[in-house]
Amino acid sequence: MVELHFSRALLSDGWRRDILITLNGRKISAIAVGAPPSANAERISGIAVPGLTNVHSHAFQRAMAGLAETRGPAEDSFWTWREVMYRFLAEMTPDDIEAVAALAYAEMLEAGFTTVGEFHYLHNAPDGRRYADPAETGARIVAAAKTSGIGLTLLPSFYAHGGCGGRPAKPGQIRFLSDLDGFADLLASSGRHVASLDGAKLGIAPHSLRAVDAPELRTLLQAYPDGPVHIHAAEQVAEVEECFKWSGARPVEWLLDNAGLDSRWCLIHCTHMTEDETARLARSGATVGLCPITESSLGDGIFAGVGYQNAGGHFAVGTDSNIRIAANEELRTLEYGQRLRDQRRNCLTGVSRTSTGRTIFDAALAGGTRALASEAGAIEVGKSADIVVLDDTNPSLVARDGDALLDAWIFASGPAVREVYAGGRLVVRDGRHIKGEAIRARYAVTMRRLLSGG
Ligand code: NGQ
Ligand code: ZN
C-alpha cells in the first residue's frame, strides 16, 4: 500500500491541511485529514488538486501546431486551416500517430490534465483502405495512453460524408470513412484494445452533422445505447448555414429536436447558438465541450458562456487541435473570451460569488468527468487517484491560500505543475514527465521525417 502525505489539498468538501492519502492500486482507499505523515508516507509539499479532464483531443494534430500560421493566397479561415490539416495527416503512419499522441499525452499530464477524451477519426491507411486491424490506429492511441499513464476515454468517430444530408466525402477525408458495418467492426476491435488498459473507457463520436446523416445517427444510437456520445456542433457560421439549408434547423436545434440529448452527450464547441438553443441545451443535461484555445486559434467565435451558465448548463474543456496544451490556459481563455465580448470582469463566477478560478475549475472538472464517464474527478475515497500538485514556491502562487491559489494558477501563472499522479502512479516529477526524454526523442524523429517530406 502506498501512502501520500500532502500539506494542502482540495478535497471534495473543500481545502484541507495535512492530508494522508492511502492508495490501493489505481484507487484512493482512505483519506485522513489533519494527519501527520506516517513513517512510510511519501511527503509532498505543494498544493494537491484533482487532475482536470481534457474532454476533446485530436492527438495527431499536435504535430502540426504552429504550421498553419502563415497566410495563404486566399483569405484564411477555419476551412483553409482544415485543408492544411488534411494534407498533413495524409502522410502519417500508425507509428507516427503513436509517437505524436504519446508526446501530446505526456504534455497534457505536465500541464494538469490526467484524463483525455480522444475523439479519434484517423482510422484508415493513407490510400483509404482499412488496416488489417480496423482499429490499428486506435490501438496506437491506447498504446500512447499506456506509455504516458494518462486516463483514456477512446471515442472512435463515425465519419461517412462530406456535408449535411449525406453529401459525398472529399478526397482529403478518405482516411476517416466507414459505413455502419465497418464502424461496428472498428468499434468492436477498439473495445478490445481499450479493455487492455486499466480504467480506460469507450464511447462513440459521430463526427458532426456534416459527416453523419440522420438515419445513420439513429442507427448508431440504437446500436450503442450506453456510454459517452460526442459530436462536433455549430463551430462555424458556414456550418450552421449548411445545416439550416439541409434541415431548416440549426445544428444544436436539430440535435435537440432529433437526437434525444441527455447526460451521455457531449457537444463540442456550440459556438453559434441562439438564446433559445442555449437555454434548451442547458436544460437537456448534455455537456458542452469547450476548446477555448483552439476556438481562438481557428477564429470560431465566442461561446454564450454567461447565458448557458445562468441556465444551469454543464461544460467541460478540451485541447482539441493541441496547438497549445495547458489546463490553466484553457480555463483562462474561456473566461477572457466572455470578458472581451461583454467588457466586464469575473463573468463566469455565476451566482456563487466565490472565486472565478474555483468556479470554472469545479465546473470543468465535474462536466469533464461526466462526459468521459471517468472514474476520477475528485480526491475522494473510491475514485481513481488522479492528483496534480501545484508548486507553491512559484512566484504567482507563493503566500496564497484556498481559492486564491486556483485564481493565481488559472489567471496569473505559466506552468506551475510540479508532480502528477495518474491512476495512482507518479508520472510527472519536478514538472517533467518521467518518460519525457524518450517520448520527446521519438517524437523528434517522427517530426524530422514528416517535415522533410519523406
Ligand atoms: C476536426 N477540428 O475534426 O479535427 C475538426 C476539423 C471538421 C475542429 N473543428 C474538421 N477544431 O470539423 O470538419
Ligand atoms: Zn474536434
Q: What's the pLDDT tens digit per position in 279-301?
A: 999 999 999 999 999 999 999 99
From the alpha carbon of 210, which atom of ligand 1 is closest? Answer: 13
Model confidence pLDDT, tens digit, residues 327-372: 999 999 999 999 999 999 999 998 777 899 999 999 999 999 999 9
Confidence of residue 102 (pLDDT cuts 50, 70, 90): very high
Whether pLDDT at 425 is above 70: yes
Q: Would you say the CB of residue 232 lies under 6 angstroms from ligand 1? A: yes
Model confidence pLDDT, tens digit, residues 14-39: 999 999 999 999 999 999 999 999 89
Confidence of residue 72 (pLDDT cuts 50, 70, 90): confident
Q: Which CATH architecture has domain 2-49+381-438?
A: Roll (2.30)
Q: Is 320 among the catalytic positions? A: yes
Pocket test for ligand 1, best of 55, 62, 78, 82 (most atoms within 8 A of CB): 82
Tell me the chain's radius of gyration from C-alpha atoms. 21
The residue extents of the domains of the chain are 2-49+381-438, 51-371
Residues 6+ apart with CB under 8 A from 451: none
Which pLDDT belongs to residue 324?
Answer: 98
In this structure, which topology does domain 51-371 adopt according to CATH? Answer: TIM Barrel (3.20.20)
Q: Is 5 among the catalytic positions? A: no
| Four-point Cα dihedral 335, 336, 338, 342, nearest 10 | 140
Q: How many CB atoms lie within 10 A of CB 18?
A: 15
- Listed residues: CB within 5 A of ion ligand 2: 320
Same fold, 2-49+381-438 and 51-371: no
Residues 6+ apart with CB under 8 A from 23: 1, 2, 3, 4, 29, 385, 424
Residue with cell 456534416: 210
From the alpha carbon of 320, which atom of ligand 1 is closest? Answer: 11
Q: Would you say the CB of residue 442 lies under 6 angstroms from ligand 1? A: no
CB neighbour burial string for 408-432, b if at least 16 within 10 angstroms, e if fewer: bbbbbbeebbbbbbbbbebbbeeee
Q: Would you say the CB of residue 236 lies under 6 angstroms from ligand 1? A: no
Q: Would you say the CB of residue 294 lies under 6 angstroms from ligand 1? A: yes
Model confidence pLDDT, tens digit, residues 168-211: 999 999 999 999 999 999 999 999 999 999 999 999 999 999 99
Query: How far are the Cα atoms of 24, 36, 105, 207, 333 from residue 113, in angstroms, in the given order?
Result: 22, 29, 9, 23, 16
Helix (H) or strand (E) holding 314: strand 314-317
Question: CA 380 to CA 13: how far, in whole Å?
Answer: 9
